[in-house]
Amino acid sequence: MALNTNLIWANHAAKAILLIRVLVGWIFLSEGIQKFLFPDSLGEGRFVKIGIPWSQVMAPFVGIVEIVCGTLLLVGFLTRLATVPLLIDIAVALYSTKIVTFAQNEFWGTLHEARTDVSMPLGLIFLLLVGGGSLALDARLASRRHEGNA
């Protein structure tokens, strides 16, 4: 009995995509929640410190975006769409917290501080390109729609 290598690789790919979705989704969900739990250090207070305008509005807005889109990534619903606001979010975060402080923290200090922030856009771009995978809610809903049309 020959092994179907395509099926084996597809199964591995589905699991790998799930891992990336969980990793990226969990970090954004967690960071969004923390903006509300710790407003002085991670929410409005941090936004004021790094110079984000309208901090009292922007911090809760960003927190909600991170919670909603992070949750969408975790369950794999509207996966590609959910990556877009998060890419904007992380681009602003990288600029306002790493690029602006580069001269102060120097090269290696900035690399250390930016390790998670640099990983997030890479994970988001990956999900934007490949979607949520076969273990995502998107795939299950598409499968049901296809079965309903058959």
pLDDT tens track for 54-96: 999 999 999 999 999 999 999 999 999 999 999 999 999 998 8
Q: Would you say the pTM of this structure is higher than 0.85?
A: yes
pLDDT tens track for 126-141: 999 999 999 999 999 9
CA distance 82 to 126: 12
CA distance 115 to 121: 11
Asked whether residue 47 carries a pLDDT value surpassing 90, the answer given is yes
Helix (H, G, I), strand (E, B) or coil at 26: helix
Residue ranges of domains in the chain: 13-149
CA distance 25 to 116: 13
> Exposed e or buried b for every residue in 37-57, given b needs 16+ CB within 10 A?
eebeebbbebbeeeebeebee
The residue written with tokens 């580069």 in the block is 102
